[in-house]
Every structure is written in C-alpha cells, then in structure tokens.
Amino acid sequence: MASDSPLLSMRNVRKRYGPTIALDGVDLEVAAGEIHAVIGENGAGKSTLMKTLCGVVEPDSGEITLGGAAYRPQGPAHAARNGLAMIHQELNLAPHLSVEANILLGMEKSAAGFLNRRTNLARAREALAQLQREDIPLDAPVRTLGIGERQIVEIARALVVNARIIVMDEPTSSLSGDDRAHLFAAMRRLRAQGISLIYISHFLEEIQEICDRFTVLRDGKTVGAGVIADTPQSELIRMMVGRKIEEFFPPIEHTPGDPALSVRALSGRIQPRGFNIELRRGEICGLAGLVGAGRTESLRCLFGLDVVDEGAISLHKRDGLEIALYSGARSRVRNGVGLLSEDRKSEGLALNLGVAENIAMAAPQTISSFGFIRASRLRDDSQKWISELSIRTATPTLPVGNLSGGNQQKVAIARLLQMNADVFLLELIGDLKSAFAYFDAHGRLG
C-alpha cells in the first residue's frame, strides 16, 4: 500500500495548443506503491497530462517533482531514465520480433560491439518472472501472442528500465475476462514491489476494484481527489460531469421501425463465416465477442472494405426501394451507409486538417454549390455538430490533431452525421454515450 510521502507531485500544470486550453492548472499527487486512477470524460485532459509527465509534451508552466527532486522531462528517453514508462492503449510492439527482443528493444547489453546473449536472456526472463508469467516463451514472435500476453510484454519492458511509475492508458479495452484478471494480478504484484501505477480507464467498476486513490479532471482542471474505498461511484460520476446523475443510461422512448439493413450468410476471405443480421430503423444492435471473434472483419465486409466471398447485403431505403450492396465502400456511402473505424487516426480523420473540413469530408455536396465550397455553409454546419456533440475546440478551423482523443472521436461521429446516412456501423472505443444518445433520440442509429 502507498506511503504518506508523494513519489510524484504535479502542481498547477498548464498546457495550451494555440487557442485551446488543454490543461488549466492541474494538480496530481501519486504516492510510492499505489495504483492511482486518473478519471475524466473525453477531453478532460487526461492524455495531455500523461504525455506531459512522460516527456512527449512540454508543459507551458507548472511544477513537477519526482522523488522529492525537481523534474522536467526533456523527452520520452529522459523520462524513461528517470523511471517513468507509459503503456499506450495502442500497444507499441514490433510484432515480427521475439518476446525477448521486444522486452529489451533499445536496452540490450553488449560488449565490444556484440550483444551479450546470456545477460539479455536473463534480464528478459527476470522481468517476466516478476510478473509470474514465465509461461510466455521468450523466443515466440509477438504476433503469435494474445492481446493480454502482449500487454504483459509491454509491462516487462517497463520493468527492464527499472520504472518507478508506470502509466497505463485504457489497458483493458480489448481484453477478455481472463486476460483482465491476469493483468490485475500483475498490477497488484507491481504495487507490492513498491512500483506506482497510474491507471486511466472509463470503466469505473474496474477503477473501484483495482485502484487505491483517484484524481478527477474536468475541462483541464483538477476537480477532485480521494480514496477509492471511501468514494461511491455516484460521487465519482458527479465530479466527472459536474452535476448529479440520477440515471447513467436514461431511457429514451422510441419504437424500431421497418428493416433498414439485412445481411444473410455473409462470409469474407478470413472472417466472418455465415454472418446474419437484420437491423431495423431506429434500432441499436450490438456486436459482442472476444478479440479475434470477427467483429471488425464483419463491419469491414458490410462497408465494402474487405472482400465478400458469399452472402447478401441489402439496404432498405426509406422510400421502399431495396438496394443490393455488392460493390465497394464508395457505393455504400452513396447509398447511406457510414462507418466509424476504431482506428480513427489512420482510417477516420485527416489530422492535419481542421475540424470543419473533417466533418464535411465524406459529404462535400452538403456544403457546396456548382462545385464550389460555400464557406458560410461549412462554418455553420460544423458549428452545429460542435455544439450538438460538445466537441471541445477553440475554433472550427483548429487542426483535429490538436484535439484530445475523445474529441477526435466526436469529430469522426460528426462526419457520419453530416453524411445524413441511414445506417451507421460503429466500431467504438472509449466513452461515447453522448453520441449514442443523440443517434437514438433521432432514430438514426444502426
């Protein structure tokens, strides 16, 4: 359990991206040997704060002390030398290399220009032993491991650099129940060794299960901190959103209508196999399954990104016309189908373009006349969705890459809404309850 003296102290930390204030005087205190939750809605400043701590982002002002000494990281390598490691939601591993190579990458011991094979093997084996995961073969390519085992490899790499603080960003978002249990067991062992963990998650039940203390961020400010065991979930939610929430998922009255999308015996080159679904207008239908079950592949086939070998996909238009969808994604878009990919940075957004341009990108006809873009329509339409989805951006022209991850996701949602599609295929990560509520209220979510 944690000691009374703080290992890490961050005081009045501020960071601005142009007109956007990402951190507005944040305070965070983490003790040695504790699991500390950093909680907040999308856009609260969690990711920016962690990037500041780990040397990815330089703060504009504020004081940081580590182990009682002043600390101002000059980059990720400098942060690592000071005992800080960050495990991102999108794991940073080389899939073609072995487990041993990934654990030691960039930190191998050598003599006279030759790698010290025996020493390196022992270091990698010791790191896995600390986590009681000696069952993971050191010579196996990382691509052959399950997602839970890959996360253990990431943690083992942090142990090799003698990390005093390990930041974990949404570590369970893609884990099965068993993998989650293994991860929590590893985290408890690290805590028992005196290592501190900063845990970021939208799953409050997990936070209450694994964390000792918490800090809540809202709108770039620290709005609360305390002991998890002494704080009910309703109070955590109140601090996150700034008001008391009587119902976390309030019911919205609606009646599903006629069929909007029918899929029969759909099979792709690898997955899915014999996939069937009927989606009615105004209905939310969830696809659940473990990693590797074929959820992503099913959506990609439905949207025409992956080859369909067998089966039928029918879109039923509001005027009663039934359209068979056999061609690619361009045809899907023209016929009112929109996709939100989980990989928003590669497949959903142009990070160097502004918020307004990203929103209009998939439906340029909505903001143009006779082939010319109408600047006023572009501005007004984007401002509408910024308001509807509470996108935190200083201006509609701000590059999307300057937004937080949650606000980037909302821009991707706004792009689908601008398309005025009939069916939305959403491969969601994170907390997008506001988007679900909007879709559901307007009878437009598939």
Handedness of CA 233, 234, 240, 241 (dihedral sign): positive
pLDDT band at 26 (very low <50, low <70, confident <90, very high): very high
Q: What is the pLDDT of residue 291?
A: 62
| Between residues 4 and 189, the one the model is more confident about | 189
Return the top range by mean pLDDT from 138-142, 252-256, 321-325: 138-142
What is the residue whose two structure tokens read 């473990």? 290
- In this prediction, residues 182-196 reach a mean pLDDT of 91
Beta bridge mates, 275: 266
| Between residues 17 and 442, the one the model is more confident about | 17
| Cα–Cα distance, 41 to 407 (Å, whole number) | 10
Backbone angles phi, psi at 284, to 5 degrees: -105, 120
Q: What is the DSSP string of 106-128?
A: T---EETTEE-HHHHHHHHHHHH
All residues at 6 or more sequence positions from 314 whose CB lies less than 8 Å from its CB, including other chains: 261, 262, 263, 264, 322, 323, 324, 325
Q: What is the pLDDT of residue 139?
A: 92
Q: Is 176 exposed, middle or buried (0-12, 13-18, 19+ CB in 10 A)?
A: middle
Distances (CA, A) of 102 to 15, 17, 32: 33, 34, 27
Q: What is the pLDDT of residue 248?
A: 56
Q: What is the pLDDT of residue 445?
A: 45
Chain segment 60-118, per-residue pLDDT in tens: 999 999 999 999 989 988 998 999 998 877 678 898 999 999 999 887 777 767 777 88
Q: Say if residues 414 and 389 touch (Cβ distance below 8 Å).
A: yes
| Cα–Cα distance, 185 to 9 (Å, whole number) | 27
Beta bridge mates, 279: 261
Mean pLDDT taken over the chain: 84
- In this prediction, residues 394-403 reach a mean pLDDT of 85
Q: What is the pLDDT of residue 446?
A: 45
**Ordered structural domains, the chain, with CATH:** 6-241 (3.40.50.300), 256-335 (no CATH), 338-446 (3.40.50.300)
Q: What is the pLDDT of residue 249?
A: 60
- In this prediction, residues 287-295 reach a mean pLDDT of 74
Chain segment 314-335, per-residue pLDDT in tens: 888 877 777 777 778 888 888 8
Q: What is the pLDDT of residue 443?
A: 45
Q: How many CA atoms lie within 13 A of 68 on its CB side?
A: 2
All residues at 6 or more sequence positions from 163 whose CB lies less than 8 Å from its CB, including other chains: 80, 83, 84, 85, 195
Share of the chain above pLDDT 70, in %: 90
pLDDT band at 442 (very low <50, low <70, confident <90, very high): very low
| Cα–Cα distance, 171 to 201 (Å, whole number) | 8
Q: What is the pLDDT of residue 161?
A: 83
| Cα–Cα distance, 389 to 411 (Å, whole number) | 9
| Cα–Cα distance, 35 to 238 (Å, whole number) | 22
Q: What is the DSSP letter of 361?
A: T
Structure token digits, residue 399: 């590059």
Chain segment 114-130, per-residue pLDDT in tens: 777 888 889 999 999 88
Residue 435 has pLDDT above 60, yes or no: no
Beta bridge mates, 30: 8
Residue 1 has pLDDT above 60, yes or no: no
| Cα–Cα distance, 50 to 38 (Å, whole number) | 9
Backbone angles phi, psi at 89, to 5 degrees: -60, -40
pLDDT band at 148 (very low <50, low <70, confident <90, very high): confident
Q: What is the pLDDT of residue 2?
A: 46
Say if residue 272 is preceded by a cis peptide, omega within 30 of 0: yes
| Between residues 291 and 66, the one the model is more confident about | 66
| Cα–Cα distance, 30 to 49 (Å, whole number) | 13
Q: What is the pLDDT of residue 98?
A: 93
All residues at 6 or more sequence positions from 139 whose CB lies less than 8 Å from its CB, including other chains: 98, 99, 100
Residue type, 263: V
Q: What is the DSSP letter of 400?
A: G
Residue 28 has pLDDT above 80, yes or no: yes
Q: What is the pLDDT of residue 246?
A: 62
